[in-house]
């Protein structure tokens, strides 16, 4: 099975054209990446891509400073929204767990007592048990 692929000039011309598609020629064999951002009016941005976006491995595109800053702001806002959602979920889970615990103990709509209040009630019960003369 000897397969040979024939490369002709069309192949290299097409490859070169596709490679140059997102770059700007500065002369002397030097190329610079173009921004891949899009404006609100759906026009492509033709600015040079900034170094920060080229070095950011998590960035989905090569972006100019304007688009890269808006990308970073969106990331920060998304993280804040995600953190708020997690806090809400944790709070709801705690409330559900407490309600389930109270339901298992046969208590419903019971106020959550602090440690101090529980100790005070236990002392009072012990005293009541000591001085309960009716049952003896």
CA dihedral sign of residues 109, 114, 117, 118: positive
Q: Domain locations in the chain?
A: 10-129
CA atoms of 50 and 45, how far apart (whole Å):
13
In the structure encoding, which two tokens stand for residue 78, read together?
Answer: 């998304």
* Burial of 72 (C-beta count, 10 Å sphere; 0-12/13-18/19+): middle
Along the 136 residues of the chain, how does pLDDT read in single tens digits?
667 777 777 888 888 888 888 888 988 989 988 888 888 898 888 888 888 887 787 777 888 888 888 888 888 888 888 888 888 888 777 777 766 666 555 555 555 556 566 666 676 666 666 565 555 4
Q: Under a CB-based contact definition with an 8 Å cutoff, are residues 50 and 68 in contact? A: yes
Q: How far is CA 90 from the centre of its chain?
A: 16
């Amino acid at each position: 099975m000897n397969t040979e692929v024939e490369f002709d000039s069309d192949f290299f011309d097409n490859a070169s054209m596709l490679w140059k598609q997102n770059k700007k020629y500065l002369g002397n064999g030097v190329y610079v990446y173009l921004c891949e951002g899009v404006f609100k009016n759906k026009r492509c941005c033709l600015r040079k891509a900034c170094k920060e976006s080229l070095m950011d491995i998590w960035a989905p595109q090569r972006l100019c400073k304007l688009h890269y800053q808006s990308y970073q702001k969106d990331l920060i806002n998304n993280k804040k929204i995600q953190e708020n959602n997690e806090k809400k979920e944790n709070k709801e889970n705690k409330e559900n767990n407490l309600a389930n615990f109270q339901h298992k103990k046969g208590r419903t709509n019971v106020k959550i007592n602090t440690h101090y209040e529980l100790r005070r009630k236990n002392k009072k019960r012990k005293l009541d048990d000591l001085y309960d003369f009716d049952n003896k």
